[in-house]
Amino acid sequence: MTAACDFVQAKKRGTKQINLSFDEWNVWYHSNQKDDELMRDEPWKVAPPLLEDHYTFEDALLVGEMLITLLRHADRVKMACLAQLVNVIAPIMTDAKGGPAWRQTIYYPFLLASRYGRGTALQPLLRSPKVETSGHGAVDAVVAVAVHDEASGELTVFAANRDLQKDIPLEATLRGFEGYRVKEFLSLESEDLLAENSAAGEKVRPIARQDGVMDGACLQAVLHKASWNVIRLCPADRA
């Protein structure tokens, strides 16, 4: 899309760079059959519970990868609005009859990217093993982006391991960030790709890890199989 915009700009000899906006993005497919049945059986029901997708850990991985992709293209993607926030294809669910509210699996990558993906996006040069897919051939097992917050001095690395079978060691050369240390390492992972959160409890939520280290300008960590990771780094002399 950016190439098409740039072509039009060049063709018209324009001075304005056209940026992109992604409106109402999210995972959306779980509720289709249920909604069709509801509209068939109760076509005139008032405020029917439509599009109330219940998200899995697999969906959270996809949302995490979407966020990495958006950050990697932040030079041209200037706005990207999540579709809805509560109940309707949303990260937060509530019981419509006055019951509890709970966080869906996709809530956590959205929360962490919103909290720590602020600043200047840094485009990494990646060398990654491949994983085979049914429709797109071999793709990189690891996708990543880094974001530098000039105000706090912090650097945050977002990285996903798309290999469903193998852990992958991450080695990142962070030139210009010598003397930094790992402040926090959060990993969203689960042995069950279809695990869901509910009012009864959260099966999927980030876990804190202690095995990420900085050695000079080199970050070393292990990305567990099928995981989405947030590694926060700060100057060694800061809390």
Angle between helices 57-72 and 107-116 (to 10 degrees): 30
Instruction: Quickly state the pLDDT bin for 211 (edges 50, 70, 90).
Output: very high
User: C-alpha dihedral over 39, 41, 43, 45, to 10 degrees?
Assistant: -100
Q: pTM of the prediction?
A: 0.90
Domains defined along the chain, listed by start: 2-114 (no CATH), 119-235 (2.60.40.1180)
What pLDDT digit, counting tens, does each position of 89-141 carry?
A: 899 999 877 789 999 999 999 999 999 999 999 988 889 999 999 999 999 99
139-147 mean pLDDT = 95
**186 vs 121: CA distance, rounded Å:** 19
3 state DSSP class of 224: coil
When pLDDT is averaged across residues 202-215 and rounded to a whole number, the result is 94
- Nearest-angstrom CA–CA distance, 35 and 42: 10
pLDDT of residue 89: 86
